[in-house]
Amino acid sequence: MLTPDYKKKIAKEVSKVVIQQKLRHNDCIQCLKENKSIKESMIIIKSENHEIDTVKQNKTALSSFDNK
């Protein structure tokens, strides 16, 4: 059960750790008002051809053109 104080943070294609630790409400407001996008880097574990590797990715976390 959710409390009235609970706010759900959602960002497409970004890991949960980035959402919880780096993205704040002020970032969302700044993104919308100034028409800027915010990019975040994250390190993921990826498997390719049965070989495990760590990869650093830069993705757009927030964009003023998101419709959700």
pLDDT at 58: 87
pLDDT tens readout for residues 29-58: 888 888 888 888 888 899 989 999 999 988
How many residues would you count in the chain?
68
Q: H/E/C letters for each residue in the chain?
A: CCCCCCCCCCCCCCCHHHHHHCCCHHHHHHHHHHCCCEEEEEEEEEEECCEEEEEEEEEEEECCCCCC
pLDDT at 10: 66
Q: Quick one: 61 exposed, middle or buried, by C-beta within 10 A (0-12, 13-18, 19+)?
A: buried
pTM of the model: 0.58
Confidence of residue 18 (pLDDT cuts 50, 70, 90): confident
pLDDT at 54: 94
- The predicted model gives 13-34 an average pLDDT of 79
